[in-house]
Structure formats: structure tokens, C-alpha cells
A and B are shown apart, each in its own frame.
Chain A
């Protein structure tokens, strides 16, 4: 018989790194919530102009600011923690040398910057004024 120590369900409240681990995992709720909003926006778009306008009008509601603020903080925490572990998941070699962690993480941050710039340009910079 092996002895299994019982871990209380509040283990994650006992140390800061454990707590931050759970926060990191729960950023996924904000991720899914926002994708749910994008899905709703696409549903409204498929229903036509009045439905879509009603959906985008929600963005000026005070609750939208609150949810977007909390969501953005959590999603930024996701992005930073995600890129910071990339060197541990992706190990590349150049000849005999291992590519340094800072280069792999740095490439992801550069990709993030490029993606953000592209999305911003597509949505903010390529329209025709009405």
C-alpha cells in the first residue's frame, strides 16, 4: 500500500507562485469570454445591419468598459506568460549551439508587435470614410 498525502483544495491560496499559476490558468476564461463576444458579433453581422448596429452599440455600455478592462489585463497576463515559456517548449539548435531563450521569446514578442500592427492597420487604416 502506498501512502498518498491529502492535499487541501485551498493549496493554491497558500503560496504566491501557486496563486499566480491558478490566475494564469483562469486567464483562459477571459480568452473564451472574449471569443464568445466575437462570435456574437459575427452572429449579429449575419443577421443584417440593425442587429449588427445593436451589437456594436453595446460597446459604449459601462459594463463593456469594465469587462474589457478586466479582460484585457487577464489576456495580457496570458500573452506575457505564454511567450515567456516558449523557450522551454520550443528548443532549436544552430549547429551545436542551442538558440538562446531570449532569442526565442524575443521572436514571439516581435511577432506579437507585428500582428498587432497588422490588425490595427486593417481595422483602423484601410477603411473608406463615410
Chain B
């Protein structure tokens, strides 16, 4: 948002949500970089090609691991929810950069709103397992 004059800058920065969203963007980028490649190799290639043991991703293995441990739920919550904030930040600014600057505010609401919704849904689903 464009602010007329520098004298408002201090106030605007103090009120801005940007540091929170930037931290979530950054944490999500790190979690995605560390965890997603190996998970994709396992779900996309090892399991369907039967290169993994029978129990891998089986209902019994996953259900007992997730339902029996709040630590596992917390890790899954971080791995699933944080990357949505990473996406929200990058996707919003990509659309702005390729010409949708005029609806930047709307894009921010949709992208970050999407990430917040996904986070809530993740929490509710994991809570119920």
C-alpha cells in the first residue's frame, strides 16, 4: 500500500502484519525443502512400485503412529500447514509481478485466507484422528 509521506512510516510498520507472515513464509519454505522431497519419493514411487515394505503407509502403521502420539500430530501439523503460508506469499507476489498489481489486496486476502483456512482444517482433522 502506498503511504503519502514518510512521517506515517513508523506507524504503518508498527501496525503491519508483515513480520508474522514473513516468518511463516520462511518456516514453510524450510519445512517444505527438508521434508517434501523424501515424502514424494515414498508416496509417488516407492509405495506404488512395491519397492517399500508392505506396511509402509498401510492403515495400521499410519493410524497407530498418528493416533497414538501428539508429537507425531504436531510434526504432521507443521509439515502440512506451514508450507501453505510459503505458497501464499510466493503465489500472491508472483501474480502481482506478472500484472495483477491493482488487485494486490484481494490476492493477499485470498492467498493468506486460504493458508489460514488450510491450517485450521489441518488442526481439526489431526485432532480427530
Interface residues, chain A, with chain B CB atoms under 8 Å away: 9, 12, 22, 25-29, 31-32, 34-39, 42-43, 45-46, 49, 52-53, 56, 59-60, 64-65, 67-69, 71-72, 75-76, 78-79, 82-83, 108, 111-112, 115-116, 119-120, 123-124, 127-130
Contact = CB atoms under 8 A, between A and B. Distances in A.
B35 A119 contact: yes
Contacts of B86: 28, 31-32
Contacts, number: 161
A26 B90 CA distance: 7
Contact of B41 (A38, A39, A72): A72
Interface of B: 28-30, 32-48, 52-63, 66, 76, 79-81, 83-84, 86-87, 89-91, 93-94, 97-99, 118, 121-122, 125-126, 128-129
Contacts of B93: 25
Contacts of A112: 33-34, 37
Q: Is the interface of A mostly helix, strand, loop or mixed?
A: helix
B91 A68 contact: no
A64 B54 contact: no
A19 to B, nearest CB: 12
A78 B127 CA distance: 30
Contacts of B56: 123-124, 127
Nearest to A53: B59
